[in-house]
Structure 1
């Protein structure tokens, strides 16, 4: 993978079109136009996390991303649990993206809108993504670049056209709630709508998941991560802003009279034929995002299995000789999300619940690495990769950890009091179950004791460097 292909992978994983189009209606109905500012707040917080990750991956450019990073920074047990949580979150994110694509694909192919058609379209999307991923890294790189191009069309061309032809408001609406959240505290409504920003800004870590498939990764991957935040974040804000200013009646969205404002906007702006073309571009964006997520999840499983740290390791670490990809790990990365999509039929507001659970798990995995980096730094670790923060390392790491903890509290907070207690707490309960199962598996099977990969050596390596020893290879 070239630098641009690696950046395109992270960009399509972060996916401005997918992130905004999936949750725009929910966020706008919850907090009105000011929900836009959550993209700015979260963008700053996640940029801090990306800087921390950049230092780590620059020193440890190992396939699998946060699992091997946590292993080198802290040790076997911490790394195993980090990877376990992150893996489940990745699989749930794949399901959330596929489920979010369902309504748009149903409209594209002329299906009537229903839960059943959404599920069928999501399953088809997962199957297509699996087939493309099995084609190998070159196929993935090509698909990522095509997806990146589609994202730019969807973000810049569509957004620009909306601003030129369908702008019904000025920028002042970004400070007007139009009655959203009037039933209680507006701050609570804004925090709830903040899920659109929190869901938007991850994917940059995928650049590091394929570190062993990128030439000169110690320089290229940190740069690709930062580019993902810069470009992806700017594109997401542009998409969101163009859609907000194109909404004719905010009250109709907030009151539920217009539950699908994006379809209303696209139909008005582009007509039936043009609307189909835009839906096709959106569909490609969702597919490319699913491809990137599936690639990241399969590489994490492969990295786990290569170290013998998960049940079925002998199968999951198998590499297809002709394609140089882990086919069985990829199959799992498609099958588990398919099961989540099928099970979602029993939960109210399934899309929000799936995305909330996935995002909480991703953030927990992220912050376990950030905490490991902070601990290692306080114990003497000095990053020795090509990308280093220098004196800014400690304050940036502390700030990233603080942001992440606050974001996780916001994600897990129960917000459906009228639902059954288990449905109201399903995000926190689901995460607790994943952690509990992981701890049980770790205690009984002791998978962290397998494998001979380096672990917990960051601090020792820094001590050796201070004593004049050559840097570890």
Structure 2
């Protein structure tokens, strides 16, 4: 075992955990898995109507800048903590250390629900993109009978087709995750390059064959809530509230970068690679996504008419571009592939969260969900549990916007929880830091992140996503009852102090069970 890898394992041992997962990811791969989940070709496309239907071109362009800067602040705060504690299930682990086992337990659930919503929402988006770009656009098929439309009374067939396709897609993603991190890494590394290339080509296509070059559109705010925006935000709202709702466009897209932390136990030089992976995934997504979003606004012949088209706005814009057919076909297929890998990477992240939480006894049936395959060195049971739960999440509502808003809301709440706890713990119980430090800016940025997430929660429960209020209340009540009824007595949290020392023999046995060979001096 080389020296950097040996140091990674020693760091993991110092936190009380065994090296059960295969540490085969490079720094680029750690970046690529987060970049693949953020995937500006997913939310940057499918959630565009959310922005147009709230604040016009200003919401798309300036809103992306505002949301992107906030996401960078959150990534900076998480990167500092991840550099100190590079472990799978990172957010849960950090919250437990800084805020206590109850705070960590709640963080785990919010993060897990958010990750499952990522997989669910993106896979519904994969189906929409495949249906409208490939089936309709490339093969010129009539897809009206398999399009879910709330106005139709006979859309049962469309819903059934959607459920079947999402189940098939998720199964393929679970199989890819099952057969080792090497296969997953190959796909996400490829996706990292694919997103860069397709984003550049897509932006160029919109600018060359569609741009009006009316740059004033990028800075013009028009309140499009109500019928003006196709009814995506059905009730007319004030300009300020409309802007807040529209921020779900960039913030739904700029989620999932915690994957770098969740795969820390599979990454070389994790203390450096994890914060770098998160920051670079957000930074480059913000830069490329901003230019791409601007090209969409500039390419619309009539932006008000485009906004009024609602959920089909981007598809109609793309299909009507007078670009070469072969180029549009390439882009359509590439976008679907990128979205498929986006959800695949999301399932990787969710499965590591399940594995890490179960490893500390946080889930019912933890012995099952924490199991690592000796052959593949992956948490196979956790992978299939995550796949099943993500499919189930698509059954409660056909509304993509509700899944997208829920994803952004739950994930950013789970991001804020360890950041807020770290704000109070820094310099007191939190005295161990990694090579990535924020120094003077640590507490101001932590305060800004925590306050910003509260604003996001308010925006996330506005119509049409107000359906989430019932689910949030239900989840909070369920978790409260579960904690005080069962978990508070049984759940010990991650190992600390003497418990870490006591686990030495368990760590050795766990590593021997999966064939991990200790290096000299370990």
Of 383, 394, 406, which aligns to 1:357? 406
Of 73, 90, 93, which aligns to 2:98? 73
Q: Distance in 2 between matches of 1:275 and 1:267?
A: 10
Q: Distance in 2 between matches of 1:392 and 1:184?
A: 36
What SS is found at the alignment partner of 1:259?
A: helix
Of 441, 454, 465, which aligns to 1:392? 441
Q: Distance in 2 between matches of 1:192 and 1:390?
A: 33
What's 1:468 paired with? none
1:119-146 Cα offsets, whole Å, 9 max, x none, are 4433332122111111211111101011
**Alignment coverage as a number of residue pairs:** 446
What residue ranges of structure 1 are gaps of 5+ in the alignment?
Answer: 417-423, 458-472
1:63-102 Cα offsets, whole Å, 9 max, x none, are 1121111122222111111101111121122111111222
Query: Cα–Cα, structure 1 residues 184 and 67, in superposed 2: closer, same or farther, change >3 Å?
Result: closer
What's 1:317 paired with? 370
Confirm or deny: 8 A CA contact 1:95 1:338 kept in the other structure. Answer: yes
Report the TM-score when normalising by structure 2: 0.81
Query: Cα–Cα, structure 1 residues 267 and 60, in superposed 2: closer, same or farther, change >3 Å?
Result: same
Is 1:32 equivalent to 2:61 in the alignment? no
Q: Distance in 1 between matches of 2:471 and 2:309?
A: 29
Confirm or deny: 8 A CA contact 2:86 2:261 kept in the other structure. Answer: yes
How far the C-alpha of 1:177 sits from its partner, in A, is 3.7
What's 1:174 paired with? 218
What SS is found at the alignment partner of 1:415?
A: coil
Of 122, 125, 130, which aligns to 1:97? 122
Q: Distance in 2 between matches of 1:216 and 1:308?
A: 27
Is 1:245 equivalent to 2:298 in the alignment? yes
Of 101, 114, 133, which aligns to 2:177? 133
What's 2:469 paired with? 428
Q: Distance in 1 between matches of 2:489 and 2:302?
A: 55
What's 2:503 paired with? none
What's 1:420 paired with? none
Query: Cα–Cα, structure 1 residues 343 and 100, in superposed 2: closer, same or farther, change >3 Å?
Result: same
Is 1:333 equivalent to 2:386 in the alignment? yes
How far the C-alpha of 1:26 sits from its partner, in A, is 2.9
Confirm or deny: 8 A CA contact 1:98 1:126 kept in the other structure. Answer: yes
1:138-194 Cα offsets, whole Å, 9 max, x none, are 111101011112211221111123222321132211122466347553232222222
Root-mean-square deviation (CA), in Å? 2.2
Confirm or deny: 8 A CA contact 1:58 1:385 kept in the other structure. Answer: yes
Which residues in structure 2 correspond to 1:236-275 (within 5 Å)? 236-256=289-309, 259-275=312-328
How far the C-alpha of 1:275 sits from its partner, in A, is 2.5
How far the C-alpha of 1:48 sits from its partner, in A, is 1.4
What's 1:45 paired with? 70
What's 1:188 paired with? 241
Larger displacement relative to structure 2 (210-219 or 447-456): 447-456
Q: Distance in 2 between matches of 1:262 and 1:269?
A: 14
Which residues in structure 2 correspond to 1:144-163 (within 5 Å)? 144-163=188-207
What's 2:135 paired with? 109
What residue ranges of structure 2 are gaps of 5+ in the alignment?
Answer: 1-24, 149-157, 229-235, 499-521
What SS is found at the alignment partner of 2:435?
A: coil
Q: Distance in 1 between matches of 2:49 and 2:109?
A: 32
Query: Cα–Cα, structure 1 residues 410 and 324, in superposed 2: closer, same or farther, change >3 Å?
Result: same
1:314-352 Cα offsets, whole Å, 9 max, x none, are 11011111111111111111111212223324xxxx111
Confirm or deny: 8 A CA contact 1:88 1:434 kept in the other structure. Answer: no
How far the C-alpha of 1:380 sits from its partner, in A, is 5.3
1:28-53 Cα offsets, whole Å, 9 max, x none, are 13321111211111111121111111
What SS is found at the alignment partner of 1:248?
A: coil
How far the C-alpha of 1:454 sits from its partner, in A, is 2.3
Q: Distance in 1 between matches of 2:396 and 2:493?
A: 38
Query: Cα–Cα, structure 1 residues 249 and 178, in superposed 2: closer, same or farther, change >3 Å?
Result: farther
Is 1:22 equivalent to 2:70 in the alignment? no
Report the TM-score when normalising by structure 1: 0.89
Confirm or deny: 8 A CA contact 2:307 2:313 kept in the other structure. Answer: no
